[in-house]
Amino acid sequence: MQATGVDVNSAVIKDAQGNTVGHDVQLAPGEYIVNYNWSIPNGVTVRAGDTMTFTLPPNVYIPADDDFTAYTSSGVAIGTVHIGTGSSTGVMTFNRYFQYNPLNRHGWLKINVPVKAPPAAPISMSKTASWVDPKNPTVINWQLTINHNGGTLTNPVIKDTFSSNQKYVAGSVHATAAGQNVAVTASGSLFTNSMTFKLSGAFTSDITLDYQTQTKLPTGAESFNNNANYSDSEGRQANAAATITREAAPSNPGPSEPAPQEPVTMDKSVSWADPHDQSKLNWDITVNAHNNQLINPQIVDHLSDNQAYVPNSAKMTTASGQPILLATSVSGAGRSIVFKAVGTFTTNLYLTYQSAITSTRGLETFTNNANYTDDAGHEASADATIDRTIEPAKPPISMAKAVTWSDPDDQTKLSWNLTISSNGNQLVNPVITDHMSPNQTFIPGSAIAVTATDETIPVTATVDGNEVTFKIPGSYTTDFQLAYQTRTNDPTSAEQFANDAVYEDDAGNQAAANTDIDREITEDSEEPETPGEPEPEVPITMTKAATWLDPNDQTKINWALNIATHGQQLNNPVITDQLSDNQTYVVDSVTARDTTGQIPVIASVNGHQLTFELIGEFSTDVQLAYQTTTNTPTGADAFTNAAVVNDDANHHAEANTSIEREGPTVEPAKDPISLTKTAAWSDPNDQNRINWQLQINTNGNTLKNPVVTDVFSNNQTYVTDSAKAVDADGNQVPTTVTINGQTLTITFTGELSSDLTLTYQTTTNEATGAATFDNAAIVDDDNNNHAEGSSSIDREAPPTVKVPIDVSKEAAWNDPNDMTTINWTIGINANGNTLINPVITDTFSNNQTYVTDSAKAIDEAGQTLPLSVTVTDHTLTFKVAGTVTNDFDLTYQTKTNTANGAAVFDNAVLYTDDNDNDGSATTEIDRPDLVTEPEEPSEPNEPSEPGNPNEPNEPETPGQPTPPVTPTTPSQPGEPEKPGVTEPVKPETKPTEPETTTPVKPSVTEPTKPNAPALSKPVPAAPAVPAQRVRPQIQAKAQPSSTASTSEKLPQTDENHNAMIDTIIGCLAILFGIGLGYLDLRRH
């Protein structure tokens, strides 16, 4: 038969992922589809029994005869297909369908071709045995290694038989493949001599299986045997055996040197849960006890920020495989996990858990650091790292196609639209090849392409017959649409217009899409008659429908067939009806009618095939009805029916339909029970009694004889009779409470559906002190409900009172005989505080200057501290880098801006640091206005005449008085001090107001502030003398004097005064003043 698209070059091979495979490539094991897009020209006549041959590619082998029926898109059979074993061609044999549908005959032919892998080499298996603890040979590690030898191990089963002097350790089995943990189920009695281990899945790498047995006798010379047999779904078999021997303990062993105690160590490893889907990691931690006691062990694990802990994935066991109750707390977005076990252990501990990958950054590293501590003071650490070697897979691109009539009233122009979804992939130079049915033609210039943001992108269209190739240059990461138009070759005939598109680009992306649209004949669009030719006959058609006889009792179905003759005459029609095997025909339920009324029908049943025969000729439509019953009264199911009608006039039609029955409403699965635990102090002000509360939420489940096992840390004690349980309504629920060391067991009897609240108390073993009080609980019952919960409460140590730091400051002249350089000392007393990066800011008066490089900082241990100095005007900033815990002194020098003269030199210091310590201090130092050595004092009763004030050692009689002025208050005589020392008088700042200069007497007077009121009785003022201030001459041995304005003695003050001499000199000074006043009075 003449047909296109069925030659070998038209065959397209695609694998299970939709990738196109060439004809010259050896097909790897897997599933493949050979595709043909065939077409029969409209002018070719096709009758029932005609055949079409298609050629298979040379690399495709058909392993067995393949026969199937070909259907239209609406489900109508068009013929059968046959391909013989090993054949290079196949044959499609057509029925009458194309005899009555001569137009638009095309479609897809898809051949499924399985390619199996060649038989693999035989597998092998080996077995080893070792003691868990050679010093205590009671637990044996058995290890099986199954070598796949290039084959696939499918659903392996290992049956292990061991000698009767040992027993299996429950929960000890562990399996790995390609470095990944593999789920394994163990069956068999713990007290029998055999166990069966089953693994599910197909494994293309070696498998390692580990488990343990325990000797029934703890000592004595014995041999322990083990024999394993392997089998799998592919029929492979292998066996292996191993033996381990225990020697008898020596009699009366002599003394031996004790071996040095090894410290606790920890090992850590990591593997991918699925190497092909690198989204979850298996972490394994082993704590090696080395004969130490592990008391309340705790492991703190820190994950890198690209992963997070998988909740409830942690499991801890002893070396014998016994599970350990584990309290787990998670913080830091799932990246910091604390695993804590309560109890004392002397064997190795094994901890496993999982983390999930949280990033999609591609190839990256995942790290983990674990730290181990316990109450016995042991410490250990371990870390592990793994790299992701597979880029996170992006979903492939996809393409969708749609078609509409450009004008529904004039169905001659079609609008086709393709949408390409990039799904995050890079689309490089896309090419779309569109195969059109031959009854339409591409309209040049109609193609347009736009991005998802409506941006027009360039597109070119090339037409080759019924194939259009669209090329879009450039690179795109967003979705885009391609739209174009075709015109029908015939303006009115009833036809189907199909289109199959294939997408490819330079980045290796591929996609396909197809769609079609039908045009029906209407009364207004009848095809024009061809003169001289009879009008073609319209073939008969058949439709089928199904309804429930009683929608409330979906056990009986009404089937209805309608045969439309379209003006043809049916001659003895026969309807063959094929039922699905989940229903049964109801005998004598069939009826047939036409427009004239009921007509006779003969029904015959052959299994699930019904045959209905109508005798006679019928030119009008015929209706046939019958019933079936469902084989089951309820349950979700679909009931199908396919019918074919044929008659003696070679009329043919087909129809099929189905009806579905929904299953009973399935209640949603209940959430598992949950356990929440909280802790609070009975009295927050007296933290020695804890209230523990356990909240058990049933979540709709029924608890049957639940048992709560509560383990608390060994720094607390249960308060007898404190346990109580109430239901959700507050009613008390009876319990049985037992206490065994640190384990509290609370047992309920009967079935409980209400939530439960359980409370009890513990007292702390120590009345005070910082501590953490832990508690972990498990609830189990006879209905296999299970939940876990844990909590803890902290008690802080009493707060310590922080003594603030002290800051002091002292000043002294570097040379008391040369008062130009000042030694400043700043003392920092830490008072137990930690000083972090101290900063000392020192501000001094503007009559002095810092001596460069004079600063030093030395702590109380004599160590010089690193110091930096910054000078800004009269502010010094000293910085000590680092942490200081000792007291230290900071010393430096300043220079006076003038070489001599009375002055006060001030200094204020402020201390701060990065540990919130602060302090301040101030001090000052005075420089006196020094004078020459005075003469011996005159007798007080014979005062000499006052002379020139510029010559204080030779007083003379005052000169003529000046004109009267307003009397001034004379200065109060100061207290006399030791002879030879004159306290400086601060200079007057207003030269326009000269003060009267009193002749200097041999005695020493205390300085007073200018214009201070006199405390003694005033005397008439002496005649004014020119008030020319003379700088005192520096005496050879000047001694510093005290300052009346300073409450503390300055460092240079001489305090060794003689009280008697001071008193005498003071009295003489008073008499001297009175004498001068008397002489002045007489002169006037």
The confidence score (pLDDT) of residue 667 equals 56
Q: Within 10 Å of residue 192's Cβ, how many Cβ atoms?
A: 12
Give the per-residue SS3 of 570-599. Answer: EECCEEEEEECCCEEECCCCCEEEECCEEE
The confidence score (pLDDT) of residue 428 equals 93
Query: Could you give the domains of the chain?
Result: 8-115 (no CATH), 124-246 (2.60.40.740), 265-387 (2.60.40.740), 398-521 (2.60.40.740), 541-661 (2.60.40.740), 674-795 (2.60.40.740), 806-927 (2.60.40.740), 933-1084 (no CATH)
The confidence score (pLDDT) of residue 417 equals 92
Q: Using alpha carbons only, how large is the chain's radius of gyration in Å?
A: 55
Beta strands in 755-866 (DSSP E): 756-764, 771-780, 786-795, 806-813, 821-829, 835-836, 839-844, 848-850, 856-859
806-813 and 716-718: which strand pairing?
unpaired
- Residue 49's contacts (CB-CB under 8 Å, 6 or more residues apart) are 93, 94
Phi-psi region of 831 (alpha: psi -120 to 50; beta: other; left: phi over 0): left
Name the 3-class secondary structure at 404.
strand
pLDDT band at 167 (very low <50, low <70, confident <90, very high): confident
946: pLDDT strictly greater than 60: no
The confidence score (pLDDT) of residue 189 equals 52
**Burial label, 337 (beta-carbon count in 10 A; 0-12, 13-18, 19+):** buried
How many residues can be counted in the chain?
Answer: 1084
pLDDT band at 504 (very low <50, low <70, confident <90, very high): very high
Q: Are 252 and 161 in contact (CB under 8 A)?
A: no
Structure tokens of 152? 């696939």
Q: Within 10 Å of residue 513's Cβ, how many Cβ atoms?
A: 19
Share of the chain above pLDDT 70, in %: 82
Q: How far apart are CA 120 and CA 203, in angstroms?
A: 13
Name the 3-class secondary structure at 438.
coil
Q: Are 414 and 483 in contact (CB under 8 A)?
A: no
Among 287, 433, 286, 306, residue whose Cα is nearest residue 358: 306
Q: Within 10 Å of residue 70's Cβ, how many Cβ atoms?
A: 18
Using one digit for the tens of pLDDT, what is the confidence trace for 207-217?
999 999 888 88
Q: Which helix (H) or strand (E) holds 97?
A: helix 97-100
155: pLDDT strictly greater than 60: yes
Q: How far apart are CA 1070 and CA 351, in angstroms?
A: 100
Rounded to an integer, what is the distance from CA 1029 to the centroid of its chain?
A: 86
- Residue 280's contacts (CB-CB under 8 Å, 6 or more residues apart) are 272, 273, 274, 310, 354, 355, 356, 357
Averaged pLDDT of the chain = 82
The confidence score (pLDDT) of residue 248 equals 82
In the chain, the amino acid numbered 1024 is A
Q: Report DSSP state, residue 1018.
A: P
**Burial label, 520 (beta-carbon count in 10 A; 0-12, 13-18, 19+):** exposed
Q: Are 486 and 404 in contact (CB under 8 A)?
A: no
153: pLDDT strictly greater than 50: yes
Most confident of 361-365, 521-525, 996-1000: 361-365
Using one digit for the tens of pLDDT, what is the confidence trace for 227-248?
999 999 888 899 999 999 998 8
The confidence score (pLDDT) of residue 1083 equals 64
Phi-psi region of 973 (alpha: psi -120 to 50; beta: other; left: phi over 0): beta
Q: How far apart are CA 242 and CA 13, in angstroms?
A: 51
Using one digit for the tens of pLDDT, what is the confidence trace for 695-737?
999 998 999 999 999 999 999 999 999 999 999 988 999 999 9
Using one digit for the tens of pLDDT, what is the confidence trace for 263-284?
999 999 998 888 777 889 999 9
The confidence score (pLDDT) of residue 674 equals 92
Q: Are 666 and 695 in contact (CB under 8 A)?
A: no
Q: Are 272 and 180 in contact (CB under 8 A)?
A: yes
DSSP H helical segments within 1043-1084, as ranges? 1059-1083
Among 664, 696, 660, residue whose Cα is nearest residue 678: 696
Q: Bigger pLDDT: 383 or 1021?
A: 383
Q: Within 10 Å of residue 528's Cβ, how many Cβ atoms?
A: 6
Average of per-residue pLDDT across 1061-1069: 80
The angle at the Cα of 560, spanning 636 to 660, to the nearest 5 degrees, equals 10
Lowest mean pLDDT among 123-137, 191-205, 582-596: 191-205
The confidence score (pLDDT) of residue 192 equals 55
**Burial label, 277 (beta-carbon count in 10 A; 0-12, 13-18, 19+):** exposed
The confidence score (pLDDT) of residue 524 equals 45
Using one digit for the tens of pLDDT, what is the confidence trace for 77-95?
889 999 999 899 999 998 9
Q: Report DSSP state, residue 135.
A: T
Q: How far apart are CA 62 and CA 600, in angstroms?
A: 49
- Residue 97's contacts (CB-CB under 8 Å, 6 or more residues apart) are 72, 76, 77, 78, 79, 652, 654
pLDDT band at 98 (very low <50, low <70, confident <90, very high): confident
Q: Bigger pLDDT: 723 or 76?
A: 723
Among 371, 380, 374, residue whose Cα is nearest residue 293: 374
Q: Bigger pLDDT: 416 or 1051?
A: 416
The confidence score (pLDDT) of residue 1047 equals 38
Give the per-residue SS3 of 240-264. Answer: EEEEEEECCCCCCCCCCCCCCCCCC
The confidence score (pLDDT) of residue 931 equals 52
943: pLDDT strictly greater than 90: no
> What is the reported pTM?
0.27
Q: How far apart are CA 111 and CA 13, in angstroms?
A: 9
Using one digit for the tens of pLDDT, what is the confidence trace for 733-752?
999 999 999 999 999 999 99
Name the 3-class secondary structure at 523.
helix
Using one digit for the tens of pLDDT, what is the confidence trace for 416-452?
999 999 887 889 999 999 989 999 999 998 999 998 8
Q: How far apart are CA 767 and CA 771, in angstroms?
A: 11
The confidence score (pLDDT) of residue 253 equals 52
Average of per-residue pLDDT across 33-43: 90
The confidence score (pLDDT) of residue 312 equals 86
The confidence score (pLDDT) of residue 1078 equals 72
- Residue 100's contacts (CB-CB under 8 Å, 6 or more residues apart) are 539, 652
pLDDT band at 354 (very low <50, low <70, confident <90, very high): very high
The confidence score (pLDDT) of residue 830 equals 92
Q: How far apart are CA 314 and CA 828, in angstroms?
A: 53
Q: How far apart are CA 787 and CA 776, in angstroms?
A: 11
Q: How far apart are CA 165 and CA 895, in angstroms?
A: 97
In the chain, the amino acid numbered 997 is T
Q: Bigger pLDDT: 1020 or 617?
A: 617
1017: pLDDT strictly greater than 70: no
Q: Are 1036 and 987 in contact (CB under 8 A)?
A: no
Among 212, 231, 210, 207, residue whose Cα is nearest residue 162: 212
Q: Bigger pLDDT: 692 or 1019?
A: 692
Share of the chain above pLDDT 90, in %: 46
869: pLDDT strictly greater than 90: yes
950: pLDDT strictly greater than 70: no
The confidence score (pLDDT) of residue 523 equals 46
Q: How far apart are CA 295 and CA 658, in angstroms?
A: 69
The confidence score (pLDDT) of residue 250 equals 65
Structure tokens of 71? 């259907």
Name the 3-class secondary structure at 842.
strand
Q: How far apart are CA 213 and CA 172, in angstroms?
A: 9
626: pLDDT strictly greater than 70: yes
Q: Report DSSP state, residue 374.
A: -
Average of per-residue pLDDT across 941-960: 46
Q: Which helix (H) or strand (E) holds 35?
A: strand 30-40
336: pLDDT strictly greater than 90: no
Q: Which helix (H) or strand (E) holds 896?
A: strand 888-896
Average of per-residue pLDDT across 334-359: 87
pLDDT band at 36 (very low <50, low <70, confident <90, very high): very high
Q: How far apart are CA 147 and CA 122, in angstroms?
A: 9
Q: Are 69 and 77 in contact (CB under 8 A)?
A: yes
> Which CA distances in Å does 656 have to 45, 287, 570, 643, 907?
27, 69, 20, 6, 109
Q: Are 432 and 469 in contact (CB under 8 A)?
A: yes
Q: Within 10 Å of residue 704's Cβ, how many Cβ atoms?
A: 15
Structure tokens of 341? 């076990």
